[in-house]
Structure 1
Amino acid sequence: MNYDLDKYGLSKEELFARVDHSSLESEKITAPRYSYWHSVFRVFFKKKINIVILILLGIILLMTYGYPLLVEYDRYTNLLSSAAKHLSPSKALKEMGMSIHWILGSGASGQSTFDALWTGARISVSLAFICAAINLTVGVVIGALWGFSKKFDTFMMALYNIIGNIPYVLLISVLVMLFTPSFWTMVFALTVTGWLTIAYFIRTQVIIIRDREYNLASKCLGTSIFRIALKNILPFMTSVIVTLAATEIPSYISYEVFLAYIGMGLSDMSLGRLIYEAEGAMLTPGWGFEFWSPVAVASIITIVLYVVGQNLGDASDPRTHM
């Protein structure tokens, strides 16, 4: 077929162009670059409820760590003023002045319930994050090695059968009673054996996938067990580890609140300590905010952290990226 190039104002050079062949260029893959975590967050933020929960979590963490930096909290400032004690929010705003400090009323020492609430939340949330970081790190690493080494498995199973049958709350209570109930004592009590259950769970997951072809090939090539566990096994269980974190972080807040409620918790002004000291105000008319406000904040923090972790664990499962 002949074309009248002059009719369209084209030349042969403009209509056809020579393409040079390059072996290097032909080997390049033109598919878009894949990022695992980019895919994870794309799936996570696809659900609008996750965005709402994440905003709520951000507000809680901002108040937990930001507000105490702006306010110098002293629970004994109004100790000698009987008129400042056990005030309802409406009375506190009227008597003490229109301020954010008094929107939840005052406590037994005349202290601001609102200020005490976020000071206690900072201690409880910090305790939960530190304990979760220690237990998850130790538990995941030991669990991965536990699932690979038969000699290590014999020793660890004996240890697990002994310690695992002791009620965890009872063990924590005994350790707290042996030492001064301080922040780092509580961290020690929650982490000295807290990693063992996580390690056993990871060990079970490792046993399921350790004999797959790519792991056997790595072992035949002389790759060490530690490297196989670190490079081949743990990345495969990212969603499992994230889900574990989702359950562990809220559980430590619950343990701290429970131990403080029965009188064996922190001596610091944590959420559990606030609930313990305000127990008598639970059913007293006008004093309920002293008890129910830390209960509500502890519940909200626990639920929000759990939901965010669970949804992030689901999003980090590669099967949801199809």
Structure 2
Amino acid sequence: MENNNELFTVEGMTDEELFARVDHNSLDSEKITAPRYSYWRSVFRVFFKKRINIVILSVLAFVILFAYIYPVVTTYDRFSNLMDGSTKHLSPKAAIEKFGFSIKWILGTGASGQSTFDAIWNGSRISISLAFICAAINMTVGVLIGAIWGFSKKIDMFMMEVYNIVGNVPNILLISVLVLILSPSFWSMVFALTITGWLFIAYFIRTQVIIIRDREYNLASRCLGTPITRIATKNILPFMTSVIVTLLAVEIPSYISYEVFLAYIGMGMSDMSLGRLIYEAESAMVTPGWQFEFWSPVVIASIITVSLYVTGQNLGDASDPRTHM
């Protein structure tokens, strides 16, 4: 025994110095020594690795913040110069010469003598608010119903009939009819864009859920008696994060496009949104010296929609776990 003990000692050290008794703790035994992992931290690390994403996100953040802050700190009255005919359709140079140098007049004036610059940012605030509200309603309702739709066969039979009926009606026609029936206001436009908009999102989510609902871990959860709603919200939707983000990237710009298109054909809301500004400045498109009235809101609408789309697409790619390896 003495010889065996000598084998487990190091020169100059005793057994007590080499080994120490450790108390058994069931909680400590469950802990795994590994670096902490944050999914969203990994997503943003991948997203910001590309410099183009930083540039586009900066442009988008500036436009959105400016659209909400500038109208608050300034006063915009569309008809303040209506009775002065010399203020209508002024080029930027002529507007600055008449009113003095100010950021309000760097894009000239419109048909009522109003500042084109002020009108654009007030219209941008309305269009962006419309897009975000519609996206929040349609995505929330569509994702939740689509997740349950893909899991329940009884609901699937009913919802497929609803989808086949509504889906065969052109969406833009349905929205146009609703806008014409209702008063053309901000909230009537929200209602027209969301009354059936969630259904197409739900159908897309339903298709994705069907692909992954019969995987082993979901079958095990159902065998253990886990409710369908819990399986859908805990097992399915987190797995589809990148799909949902990519879908959101398409949805938000589409509402601005719908609003601009409806306003351009004369069926938009009465508020001075970007679409309304483009519609009223249509005659200025080819008139020398008046082009700023038309192309300024077109450029801002294009920047907003393209920036939202590209940012969402790249964020959707970054949220795919396969890009984190």
Quick one: which of 193, 197, 213 aligns to 1:194?
A: 197
Map 1:247-266 onto structure 2 (within 5 A).
247-266=250-269
User: After superposition, where does 1:95-174 map in structure 2 within 5 Å?
Assistant: 95-174=98-177
Residues 131 and 252, structure 1, Cα contact 8 Å, conserved in 2: yes
> Per-residue deviation at 1:96?
1.1
Q: CA deviation at 1:29?
A: 1.8
SS of residue paired to 1:148: coil
The alignment-based identity, stated in percent, is: 74
- Unmatched 5+ residue regions in structure 1? 1-10
Q: Deviation per CA, 1:151-173, whole angstroms, max 9, x where unpaired?
A: 10000000000000100000000
Residue type at the aligned position of 1:297: I
TM-score, normalised via structure 2 length: 0.93
The residue aligned with 2:284 is 281
Unaligned runs of 5+ in 2: 1-11
Q: How does 1:228-307 map to 2 (within 5 A)?
A: 228-307=231-310
Assess if the C-alpha contact under 8 Å between 1:84 and 1:96 holds in 2. Answer: no
Q: Matched residues in 1 for 2:269 and 2:30: separation?
A: 63
RMSD (Å), alpha carbons: 1.3
Give yes or no for contact 1:85–1:107 (8 Å, CA) kept in 2: yes
Which amino acid is the alignment partner of residue 22 of structure 2?
H
With the length of structure 1 as denominator, give the TM-score of the two structures. 0.94
In the TM superposition, residue 94 of structure 1 has moved relative to its aligned partner by 1.0
Q: Distance in 1 between matches of 2:98 and 2:198?
A: 50
Residue 3 of structure 1 corresponds to none
- Write the distance in 2 (CA, Å) between the matches of 1:62 and 1:139: 28
What whole-Å deviation, never above 9, does each CA across 1:51-101 have from its counterpart, x for those lacking one?
111111111011111111011110001111111110001111111110000
Superposed displacement of residue 22, structure 1: 4.1
Structure 1 residue 286: deviation in Å?
0.5
Residue correspondence of structure 1 range 59-78 to structure 2 within 5 A = 59-78=62-81
Residue 28 of structure 1 deviates from its aligned partner by 3.0
1:21 Cα shift?
A: 2.6
Shift of 1:23: 3.7
- Distance in structure 2 (CA, Å) of the matches to 1:57 and 1:103: 21
Does the Cα contact within 8 Å between 1:175 and 1:189 map onto a contact in 2? Answer: yes
> SS at the partner of 2:268?
coil
Total equivalences in the alignment: 310
Residue of structure 2 in register with 1:214 after alignment: 217
- AA aligned opposite 1:215: N
Distance (Å, rounded) in 2 between the aligned partners of 1:280 and 1:19 = 89
* 2:184 is aligned with 1:181: yes
Give runs of ≥4 in structure 1 deviating > 6 Å: none
Report the Cα distance in structure 2 between the residues aligned to 1:159 and 1:28, rounded to whole angstroms: 50
Match status 1:85 vs 2:100: no
Name the counterpart of 1:312: 315
User: Does the residue aligned with 1:94 lie in a helix, a strand or coil?
Assistant: helix
Distance 1:43 1:220 in 2: 37
Secondary structure of 1:222's counterpart equals: coil
Deviation at 1:197, TM superposition (A): 0.7
